[in-house]
Structure 1
Amino acid sequence: MPSTRNPHQALREAHQIANTHGCFVREKHSGRSTFYLLYRRTSPPTLIGQRSTPNGLRTLVCKACNIN
């Protein structure tokens, strides 16, 4: 079932949720596509995962931060 959430809104929510729960998001541009990388704030930062869409990133952030 496709999400009706605006991609820009999903990206903003993912950034806010990640920041609140000790994580951060980086964008990686590769050619014509963009990948969103989720890291845990540790020293050094730990990569949790990557997604290619803002809605996929929001889902990953919710799972990693244990948000329903």
Structure 2
Amino acid sequence: MGKAIECIYENNVLKPVGKVPFREGERIRITVEKKLPFDPIQLKKKPSSARISSLKDESWTSS
């Protein structure tokens, strides 16, 4: 059974943010995923190809 544990990478070491359910010296296998700096958005419905194309062509400016 897998368990996700959030860690911070500091000084060449992965450090868990909270307590971990392992015994000292216990061997475990980890899979690393880089966390996005934001949460992905959830769309209510799938956009059409035409809508995606129009967004690609739209020019974005900041005020």
**Superposed pair shares fold, TM > 0.5:** no
Q: What band does the TM-score fall into relative to the shorter chain?
A: under 0.3
Rg (Cα) greater in structure: 2
Q: TM-score, normalised by structure 1?
A: 0.20
- State the TM-score, normalized to the length of structure 2: 0.21
Query: Greater helix percent: which structure?
Result: 1
